[in-house]
């Protein structure tokens, strides 16, 4: 094996020399909501005020666990916007969440 070493080459040689077989993690298919789905503040207006307030507070505090928890509750109540909010939360797009909530 020649320098520079590449990760794939190292694993290939280890597999050959040690008789290894690697299992690679498969990516999970995306949720049924199209990734390009765009939310507007009016979409969040139909949510209960207490959920909007809880999500806003969690976003302002940058509390990832609470954001995901509130988004999970929203997803159970509104299957149309839940997955979009979930994607925004998982991608840490708090500025977009904040704009939606304050819009």
56 to 12, 20, 41: CA distances (angstroms): 49, 49, 12
CA distance 80 to 52: 16
64 to 37, 68, 71: CA distances (angstroms): 22, 6, 10
pTM: 0.63
> CB neighbours of 81 closer than 8 A, spacing ≥ 6?
39, 43, 44, 47, 74
Residue 17 maps to a domain: no
Q: Give the sign of the dihedral formed by CA 15, CA 16, CA 21, CA 26.
A: positive
Q: Is the peptide bond before 4 cis (omega within 30 degrees of 0)?
A: yes
Residue 56 in this model has a pLDDT that exceeds 80: yes
Total domain count for the chain? Answer: 1
Residue 6 maps to a domain: no
| Residue-wise pLDDT tens digits, 61-76 | 999 999 999 999 999 9
87 is in which domain, residue-wise? 39-103
């Amino acid at each position: 094996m020649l320098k520079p070493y590449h990760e794939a080459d190292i694993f290939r040689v280890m597999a050959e020399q040690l008789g290894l077989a690697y299992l690679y993690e498969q990516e999970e298919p995306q949720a049924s909501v199209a990734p390009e789905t765009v939310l507007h503040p009016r979409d969040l207006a139909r949510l209960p005020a207490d959920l909007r307030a809880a999500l806003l507070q969690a976003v302002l505090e940058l509390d990832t666990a609470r954001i995901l928890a509130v988004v999970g509750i929203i997803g159970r109540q509104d299957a149309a916007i839940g997955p979009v909010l979930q994607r925004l939360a998982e991608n840490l797009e708090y500025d977009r969440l904040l704009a939606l909530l304050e819009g």
